[in-house]
C-alpha cells in the first residue's frame, strides 16, 4: 500500500451514514474509493453537485460536464443532483457539510491552514477553500508529512498566507493521525511500522503524546 492510499483509506473511516462530505483537489478525491460498503455518504463538490460518485467504469458513458474537484469525470448516484454555484455555496456556508477534506502546503499546531498560495508562484486563486473551512463542521487535512526537501509541513506557526485560522480538526499523513485540540496537536494514531520518535523527528510543531496511541489501519 502506497502512502496516498494509506491516507485515503484512513480518512474514509471518519464518515458515518448521511454525512455530506466535500473532497478537495488531488489526494482528497481518492477518499471516495475507500468508503466502507455499510456507510452511506453524500459527496458534495462546490462546482454544484451532491451525490457525486467515482469515475465511470469501463464501457460506461462519460459525462464531461459532471466532474470532481480535480476536473476528472465522475458519476451521479441515485438521488444525486446538480445545481448552481450560488446554491452550492449556500449549502457550504449554511453549515450543512459534515466534513471537508483538503490538501495543504502548511498546517500548524493552532489549527491554522495554508493551502492556496505559494509566494513567487502563479496561482489560479483560492477557489472555494475559504468558504469550505469556515462552513464545514470538520476540516480534515490529508497530505504527505514532509515536502520534497524533507521539511515538515506541520509547523509551529504557518509562514504562508492563511486559508483559515483555527479551522483544522484533524491531520492525516502517511505517518500518523493528529487531532487539533485547544491544548495543541495530539498524536492519536500511527501508521504500521512507524514509531513515535519518527513522527516527532519529522514534525516541527510540538506534539502531545498520550499513553495510548491507536493504529491507522
Cβ neighbours for 211, distance < 8 A, ≥ 6 positions apart? none
Catalytic residue among 37, 46, 204, 211: 46
Cell 454525512 found at? 19
Cβ neighbours for 121, distance < 8 A, ≥ 6 positions apart? none
What are the distances in angstroms from CA 195 to CA 62, 116, 200, 213, 215? 44, 31, 9, 11, 11
46 included as an active-site residue: yes
Which runs of consecutive H residues, i.e. helices, occur in 47-195?
Answer: 85-93, 129-135
From CA 142, how far away is CA 138, in angstroms rounded?
13
Is the distance from CB of 98 to CB of 138 less than 8 angstroms? yes
Cell 450543512 found at? 96
Total Cβ atoms within 10 A of residue 82: 16
* Side-chain-facing half-sphere of 134: CA atoms under 13 Å: 11
Q: Catalytic residue positions? A: 46
Amino acid at each position: 500500500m502506497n502512502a496516498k492510499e494509506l491516507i485515503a483509506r484512513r480518512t474514509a473511516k471518519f464518515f458515518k451514514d448521511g454525512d455530506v462530505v466535500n473532497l478537495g483537489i488531488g489526494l482528497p478525491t481518492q477518499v471516495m474509493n475507500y468508503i466502507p460498503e455499510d456507510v452511506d455518504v453524500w459527496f458534495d463538490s462546490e462546482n454544484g453537485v451532491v451525490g457525486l460518485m467515482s469515475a465511470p467504469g469501463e464501457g460506461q458513458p462519460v459525462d464531461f460536464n459532471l466532474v470532481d474537484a480535480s476536473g476528472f469525470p465522475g458519476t451521479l448516484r441515485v438521488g444525486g443532483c446538480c445545481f448552481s454555484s450560488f446554491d452550492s455555496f449556500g449549502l457550504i456556508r449554511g453549515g450543512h457539510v459534515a466534513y471537508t477534506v483538503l490538501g495543504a502546503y502548511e498546517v500548524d499546531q493552532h489549527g491554522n491552514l495554508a493551502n492556496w498560495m505559494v509566494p513567487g508562484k502563479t496561482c489560479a486563486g483560492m477557489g472555494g477553500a475559504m468558504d469550505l473551512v469556515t462552513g464545514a463542521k470538520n476540516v480534515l487535512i490529508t497530505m504527505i508529512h514532509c515536502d520534497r526537501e524533507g521539511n515538515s509541513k506541520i509547523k509551529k506557526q504557518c509562514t504562508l498566507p492563511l486559508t483559515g485560522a483555527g479551522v483544522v480538526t484533524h491531520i492525516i499523513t502517511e505517518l500518523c493521525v493528529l487531532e487539533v485540540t485547544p491544548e495543541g496537536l495530539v498524536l492519536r494514531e500511527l501508521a504500521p511500522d512507524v514509531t513515535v520518535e519518527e513522527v516527532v523527528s519529522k514534525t516541527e510543531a510540538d506534539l502531545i503524546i498520550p499513553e495510548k496511541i491507536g493504529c491507522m489501519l
